[in-house]
Structure 1
Amino acid sequence: MHQRFTFIFLLLSFSAFAQTAPFPQKGLKLKWEVKENGFMGEAKTHSVFTLTNTAKKAFPASGWTIYFNFIRVVSPLRTETSPAIVPGHINGHLYTLKPTADFKGLAPGDSILINVESGAWVTNFTDAPDGPYIVWNDAPAKGYSIDFTVVPSTEDKQLRRQANESRVRTSLEDIYKRNSITRDIPEDQLPRVFPTPENIRSTAGVFSLDAKDVIAYQPELKQEALFLADILKNALGKTVQIAEGENGSIVLNKNDKNPTGEHTLTVTADKVTLSGNKAEDVFYAIQSFRQLLGTPKNGAIEITGIEVKDRPRFSYRSFLVDVSRNFQAKAEILRILDVIALYKLNVLHLHMSDDEGWRIEIPGLPELTEVGGRRGHTVDELDMLQPSYGSGPDVNNTTGTGWYTKADYLEILRYAKARHIKVIPEVEIPGHARAAIKAMDARYAKFMKAGNTQAANEFRLSDPDDKSQYRSVQEWKDNVVNVALPSTYRFIEKVTDELVAMHREAGAPLDVIHMGGDETPAGVWEGSPACQRLIASDEKLRTADDLWPYFYDRVAQIVNKRGLQLYGWEEAGMRRTKRDGRNVMIVNPDFGARNFMVDVWNNVMGGGMEDLSYRLANGGYKVVLSGVANYYFDMAYLRDYNEPGFYWGGYVDIDKPFYFIPFDLYKNSKEDGAGNPLPASTFVGKDRLTEYGAGNIVGIQSALWGETLKSAAALEYLMLPKLLGMAERAWAKDPEWTKNEAAYNEAWSIFANVAGKKELPRLAKLNGGYNYRIPTAGVSLADGKVLANVQLPGLVIRYTVNGKEPDAKSAVYSAPVAEKGTLRFRVFDQQGRGGRTVTVQH
């Protein structure tokens, strides 16, 4: 009896010990830095982790694994012969560091260097590894975060891409030269309405707006009347009444005499009239009118007479936000809807599913959010997805875990509808579908455990016998749905039906749905018995490549049967084939006449696919111009280690979306994907847009992908002010400046002044303020003095000469500086918020 009690006591003691980490949780520090890019003369990076024991006890030689995320493919350093700790790959961007027999542990205070090699290059702080944590072998289900530091790169060898590259950053002189084309224009000489209206003229008379004014509206315009009343309340600080009918000094008028899509705004001394063919058009007239509202004096706002007649150039003006990679709260989505409505965009493309997360509750499939909407350390991913983008081991994180409940989604839809914005949900398939696949695997396991085989297989997306070998662009090995399974199509039908039902309940009927199609890697389906049986059973199918159009034909049938237009990424309109024995992608002629709409993203300058949007439009597809070179807002503003964002498709500042020419994108393309001058030969032999093809260009979309968006502030920084350039190009007519450089410089100056003097101050006040980027100053040396300038007139440059950080009370730059010392320049907005400081030694 005594021996049995002792055994049980020891067993319980061991179990308790096993649940406790054998090393202090805060006893480790991990540091990472780049040694050099262009390692061994290749597109490789040599970097090093430094692991330090800060505890008072020895760190063990074995029994642990460190996990971390890194957006580069990691391998051991090839020049190291007997590494003590080596990297390994799990899946996607999740990697490990594991000890070898040569690792002897770490005494208190000791460190060890861990050299690694990675593909491509690292020239930006957002490229760095993130979210490291340690897992002990005795407790494999629990991860502990490690204190982590990234050492900034400052040397040329750390910042270049290739070993022979000489231009490693956008210099302060580069910025100064770019800013120099902009002339400062007095605010009273700037256009009063933005984006640029089709017709506008000032008239005599001044309307005095105060709280005594009444907004009169037709019954079908009550929503717009309430929206305008809220704007005027914020402007005046007092409530303005609304009244159905025509007896008011501010009249909202739905007028069939206005051509379709047109609105008019007229301000006279005694009346304001906002008219449009539809409620949507009246709404845009309201957005124009709000831009005329100044600061109240003696309780009233004086508005000089004006006549505006306007319509959008493109019917489709979209902003895509990716909430899958890093989740954004509902409140931020509502803020996004407010700002895109302000600039007359009419679509929110909600990228709500991808490999790293599923973000909308689907009734009947709770696993999609309960598993696919959560990230953390997991043994088998039956409870959550593995960490991505530094989300770490704890499931209770705000970037990897989160979703919109049905109630949330209905609120988003209704909020968007009130602003005449269509929300288009994206179900990313067949690739980029790992969150859905793993969620349905978890559902399968749950029902199989319960003995319900039929329910287990009802919506399964993966074939357990599939031996296909592939890697996606993001290094996933298992992120593509199996297109031969009937359950795949039941899943698509179920999700589509539930989305349609939610949109109907919100009063915002769904008429188009995005069904992905992006970046499905080569090698998929080739080793799937189910796919091989399908190929053998259908004479139209010869190889796995033929499964792509087969899949989208079935998806189209599902979508069209429900009265929806099919929408997808450019690859959905392409098919693989061979030319001269090599794999190539060509425009698929089968879908061009089926009202199939595609986003065309691949226009990386110098990448060889610059004409793809025109080829698809010429082939009959409805094309949304979504090119990375101009409209991927997750691209960094410029080449600087401290600028957040990616840069694989180039650098995108506010000018890139502004100077894009939709029907002749070759004419004004200036930089390649590395930010270098674009050779004139780039477009030789490229397809040009035909007259027929031009009729298939339906609009423009800017996209903000979420890999680097760890907060709402990060999102707004990359979104704004870039969105202003996109809004101008999507709304305003084809500009005259396409004909010569001088005309462009003048148009740019007007736009830059409008942005800096009118729109940024507006954004600083809207909804408590947006975290738009305040640009860094340009700096040049001439005649022994330091010159500085700013990209957007209206912003203020302040500086110090003693090396201290400039603040809102520092000296304002107004003339070249002759003083010697450490000069620091920083740009501030009109509210006193500062951007990033730049430093020069003089």
Structure 2
Amino acid sequence: MRFIATTIAVATLGLAGCSNSVNDQQTVHRISQFGVSYQVTQNDAAAHGVDCAALGADWAACNRATIKLTNPGPALNSKNWAIWMSNVHQTIKVDSDQFRIVHIVDDLSRLEPTSNFKGFAAGESVEIPIINEYWQLFITDIMPRWYVTAGKAEPEIMVSTNTEDLTTFVEPFGDNWKRFAGDKNVLMTAESRFAKNADVSLLPAAALQAEIFPTPLKATRLNGNADLSRGVLFNLSGLNTDEARAAEQRFALMGVKVNSRGYPVSTRIDSRGFSDSMAVSGAYRLEVLPGGATIVGYDSAGVYYGLMSVLSLVPASGPQKIAALRVEDAPRFAYRGMFLDVARNFHSKQVVLRLLDQMAAMKMNKFHFHLSDDEGWRIEIPGLPELTETGARRCHDLTEQQCLLPQLGSGPFSDNNGSGYFTRSDYIEILKYARARNIEVIPEIDMPAHARAAVISMEARYQRLMREGKPDEAGEYRLRDPSDTSNTTSVQFYDRTSYLNPCLDSSLRFADKVITEIDLMHQQAGVPLTTWHFGGDEAKNIYLGAGYTDIRHPEAGKGIKDMSHEDKPWAKSKVCQRIIKDGKVEDLSHLPSYFGLKVSRIVAEKGIGDMQAWQDGLKDANAASDFATQHVRVNFWDTLFWGGASSVNDWANKGYQVVISNPDYVYLDFPAEVNPLERGYYWGTRYNDERKVFSFAPDNLPQNAETSVDRDGNTFDTKSEQPWPGAYGLSAQLWSETVRTDGQVESMIFPRVLAVAERSWHRAAWEQDYQQGREYQGGKTHHVDQQALHRDWQRFANLLGQRELARLDKAGIAWRLPQPGAVIVDSYLQANTALPGILVEYSIDEGRSWQRYSDSHRPLVNGEVWVRTSSTDGKRFSRTEHVMPL
């Protein structure tokens, strides 16, 4: 594989030719005004005459789509132009001899004319049929901000794609929402959603009065109520100044003010009196009486959580009276986490702080902060300015000396969330804010794969210092071996620049430098760095995966490739070849774990007790004891229906602390329901909604076969023959490839993360103990008490719909409003929601006016109706659904 900057520069020379800059700019501007239409025309194209295998598609899976360009002005005959776009799935064929699509890097591709191009006639619409790898099942597979270049002209974004409302240029999917004919998922429409929600009804408010979220270990209802209508009078013994301020701010945000005449709430820390099962960080005892409340915490976290439990009882509206209770409570897992990716797309400090505040209220205590990836480096490192000057910015710089190339719909400019980073002071502020809320910040710098932003940045540094005549300094932190000519492609279609070279001393120096500087930020914040996340995932060549086959020995159902041209990462690096020959590492596949072991020594030398990684990054180490740190955690992310219910045991039995992070249940970047208008990737499942997450049994993974289905909507069977020492924790993940704005961050996280918080804090009665060798068969065995699960879900769904979502509104969280279910029966509209208590509105005039729906007074309607849900404050609305009479 050629070095990417060279590839792009050479490929672009033909576009420049002998162009005239004025004419080029005119061409760019005119094409930027073209109408763009993108339509998915056929998934599962292999079943309809397309030889996807011969085209090299993974598992011989490809789809058809059509790009339509409409010229609104006079004829344009220039061949000196290119349209750049983000294609999540690579285009592997263009069914037109007038155009070609050239893959550049990751999702960035370039549409350009061939010598057969006939021009765009005045007012003409030109259709360009294409074939893409895999499927296109959700609208977010198509990225916005396509842009135009010509010669040396300034790029311009195509106006019709310069939007986050993808429906303005992506045509409706129609029947093209299935992966293949046997896809058994159910398309969520108003009618199918109504049927799905039908078993959950609205509970009376009195039934929720004594409910605390997340559910406590033990709660006893006492006589009477406590009145908080005058506010609260705190005696916050056991909390430091920052913790006390954080608690007071949370109460005030929820409308409960501190008042000298308010309801007395006193706290203290006293670890005595807690049973062995409750003698853990975060445990507390709470007594709410009409005359005052007392909280005894095992530690300061327990005191804080006891305060959040008091606040959790306050109704969303009406008199601020809470039930008198006696509570004994302790967390289920030591690790109750939320992961946020700010590398693929940058997200603001404000959204991070709001997230931390909500996490604390939900008693979540680990914030896993993904600060680097191929697409961006997001934290300032003193002494390495290129990391943020180059690696934190995207723009149309073909040399990538000033910025990274555009990705993920960011367009050619740096004025959006494709660019950005946290300064040292930003990060220190986040650390202090988290610490005041008993949250540990776990920084992740991903290596050795997913490291392109760092590799390109350090290459820019190398070039700068070489120009300055400083070769020794230039090589100090260089991350690529110039001898490495390996032809390798990462899982997201980057070339070898996606991987830092683990065999270089300079790579280890780089890791040391970054860890040192982030550790210093923690010291300055007064918040010790106790866990370092190494990353470690996906250091492989995707074309050497199981879905491809060699052209010389083809296997049916796989993409055909010439494997003689494919290399494992670092295969042709002379320095890596040398350490393998010297016996320092067994083979190329062991290099990520080899590098992880070396980094663990750096981590341990700095007094950082724990190292964490994605499981596959450590797979070639013998056991956790190989590493230098006191503990090693792995984020476990195998899907259950592909064997994860068994493979998870391997990690726990090798001494790793396992943090359950399954994509098919707790990846919040996946769609919330099966509907093409939803946002997210879906390689692990077609949906993760609140009910599915709530029903997840994280400490007995085989059990989930009875309560969920696989990616294609089929039941599956699981069991494990190995012993299971138990999970260390549970973590929700939000990767941000399709999540560009802060509002999108919050709508993807909330309210689903509330179900994650429930499962990480509280073990439900319907969750079974793990039994070695027990088999769970979806639709066949009946080990799980489904009625108990349903009762618990109904309680929890009402708690969210009637109380917790209103708290999110008060906190300014842009949570996702679920679309309503609705049917028209005998001319009467019937509507429901997944979370009872959410307001439903309907319109009989195509959305020009709206009325409030009430189940007790179902409206008589004549013909079609439009429905939507509304936030409790009436400021936001769900997507509108169309309902026809049955």
State whether TM-score is above 0.5: yes
What pairs up with 1:297-696 in 2 under 5 angstroms? 301-395=320-414, 397-477=415-495, 478-522=497-541, 523-537=568-582, 539-564=583-608, 565-575=610-620, 590=626, 595-603=631-639, 605-650=640-685, 651-669=687-705, 670-679=707-716, 682-683=717-718, 686-688=719-721, 690-691=723-724, 693-694=725-726
Distance 1:233 1:838, change over 3 A: closer
Counterpart of 2:689, as a letter, is D
Determine if contact 1:516/1:569 at 8 Å carries over to the other structure. yes
Deviation at 1:638, TM superposition (A): 1.0
Name the SS of the counterpart of 2:147 in structure 1.
Answer: strand
Deviation at 1:268, TM superposition (A): 2.0
- Give 1:267's match in structure 2, choosing from 285, 288, 291: 288
Q: Does 1:822 align with 2:864?
A: yes
What pairs up with 1:748-827 in 2 under 5 angstroms? 748-766=793-811, 769-780=812-823, 787-804=830-847, 807=850, 809-814=851-856, 819-827=861-869
Deviation at 1:802, TM superposition (A): 4.5
Who is 2:245 aligned against? 226
Who is 2:144 aligned against? 130
What pairs up with 1:110-129 in 2 under 5 angstroms? 110-129=124-143
Determine if contact 1:633/1:719 at 8 Å carries over to the other structure. yes
How many percent of aligned residue pairs carry the same amino acid? Answer: 32
Determine if contact 2:396/2:406 at 8 Å carries over to the other structure. yes
Q: Partners of 1:334 and 1:110 in 2: how far apart?
A: 50
Q: Partners of 2:827 and 2:317 in 1: how far apart?
A: 47
Who is 2:307 aligned against? 286
Counterpart of 1:599, as a letter, is N
The total of aligned residue pairs comes to 796
Residue-by-residue CA offset, 1:587-626 (whole Å, 9 max, x unaligned): 89955996211001121x4323343322211222110000
Q: Does 1:91 align with 2:96?
A: no
Q: Partners of 1:506 and 1:321 in 2: how far apart?
A: 21
Name the SS of the counterpart of 1:662 in structure 2.
Answer: coil
Counterpart of 2:799, as a letter, is V
Q: Does 1:837 align with 2:870?
A: no
Q: Partners of 2:24 and 2:200 in 1: how far apart?
A: 64
Counterpart of 1:90, as a letter, is I
Name the SS of the counterpart of 1:666 in structure 2.
Answer: helix
Q: Partners of 2:238 and 2:787 in 1: how far apart?
A: 49
Q: Partners of 2:761 and 2:326 in 1: how far apart?
A: 18
Name the SS of the counterpart of 1:432 in structure 2.
Answer: coil
* TM-score, length basis structure 2: 0.85
Name the SS of the counterpart of 2:698 in structure 1.
Answer: coil
Who is 1:24 aligned against? 29
Q: Partners of 2:829 and 2:253 in 1: how far apart?
A: 43
Who is 2:265 aligned against? 250
Determine if contact 1:51/1:112 at 8 Å carries over to the other structure. yes
Determine if contact 1:592/1:620 at 8 Å carries over to the other structure. no
Distance 1:102 1:212, change over 3 A: closer
Q: Partners of 1:837 and 1:217 in 2: how far apart?
A: 47
Determine if contact 2:840/2:868 at 8 Å carries over to the other structure. yes
Counterpart of 1:66, as a letter, is I
Residue-by-residue CA offset, 1:736-765 (whole Å, 9 max, x unaligned): 465411111111111111111111111111
Gaps of 5+ in 1: 1-12, 577-585
Please say which of residues 615-624 and 342-351 is displaced more in the overlay. Answer: 615-624
- Work out which structure has the larger RCO, using CA pairs closer than 8 Å and 6 or more positions apart in sequence: 2
Please say which of residues 250-259 and 280-289 is displaced more in the overlay. Answer: 250-259
Please say which of residues 756-765 and 817-826 is displaced more in the overlay. Answer: 817-826
Please say which of residues 59-68 and 775-784 is displaced more in the overlay. Answer: 775-784
Counterpart of 2:130, as a letter, is V
- Give 1:106's match in structure 2, choosing from 99, 120, 135: 120
Distance 1:435 1:256, change over 3 A: same
Q: Partners of 2:254 and 2:357 in 1: how far apart?
A: 16
Deviation at 1:688, TM superposition (A): 5.0
Who is 2:42 aligned against? 36
Counterpart of 2:600, as a letter, is A
Determine if contact 2:702/2:720 at 8 Å carries over to the other structure. no
Deviation at 1:125, TM superposition (A): 0.8
Name the SS of the counterpart of 1:130 in structure 2.
Answer: coil
Deviation at 1:440, TM superposition (A): 0.4
Who is 2:755 aligned against? 725
Name the SS of the counterpart of 1:147 in structure 2.
Answer: helix
Gaps of 5+ in 2: 1-17, 53-60, 162-167, 542-567, 769-783
Determine if contact 1:354/1:432 at 8 Å carries over to the other structure. yes
- Give 1:704's match in structure 2, choosing from 734, 749, 756: 734
What pairs up with 1:36-75 in 2 under 5 angstroms? 36-41=42-47, 43-56=61-74, 58-75=75-92
Q: Partners of 2:244 and 2:630 in 1: how far apart?
A: 39
Who is 1:3 aligned against? none
Determine if contact 2:228/2:256 at 8 Å carries over to the other structure. no
Q: Partners of 1:818 and 1:592 in 2: how far apart?
A: 70
Who is 1:9 aligned against? none
Q: Partners of 1:375 and 1:212 in 2: how far apart?
A: 49
Determine if contact 2:190/2:882 at 8 Å carries over to the other structure. no
Please say which of residues 543-552 and 515-524 is displaced more in the overlay. Answer: 543-552
Name the SS of the counterpart of 2:515 in structure 1.
Answer: helix
Determine if contact 2:604/2:629 at 8 Å carries over to the other structure. no
Q: Partners of 1:153 and 1:209 in 2: how far apart?
A: 51
Distance 1:841 1:424, change over 3 A: same
Q: Partners of 2:43 and 2:113 in 1: how far apart?
A: 26
Determine if contact 2:353/2:430 at 8 Å carries over to the other structure. yes
Determine if contact 1:597/1:622 at 8 Å carries over to the other structure. yes
Name the SS of the counterpart of 2:117 in structure 1.
Answer: coil
Deviation at 1:286, TM superposition (A): 1.0
Q: Partners of 2:759 and 2:441 in 1: how far apart?
A: 21
Please say which of residues 506-515 and 61-70 is displaced more in the overlay. Answer: 61-70
Q: Does 1:147 align with 2:189?
A: no
Distance 1:208 1:654, change over 3 A: closer
Deviation at 1:15, TM superposition (A): 8.4
Q: Partners of 1:816 and 1:294 in 2: how far apart?
A: 27
Name the SS of the counterpart of 2:110 in structure 1.
Answer: strand
Residue-by-residue CA offset, 1:664-715 (whole Å, 9 max, x unaligned): 2221334444351313xx32xx435625x22xx2100000110111211111
Deviation at 1:789, TM superposition (A): 2.2
Q: Partners of 1:610 and 1:473 in 2: how far apart?
A: 24
Determine if contact 2:135/2:179 at 8 Å carries over to the other structure. yes
Residue-by-residue CA offset, 1:612-644 (whole Å, 9 max, x unaligned): 322211222110000001100011011101111
Who is 1:579 aligned against? none
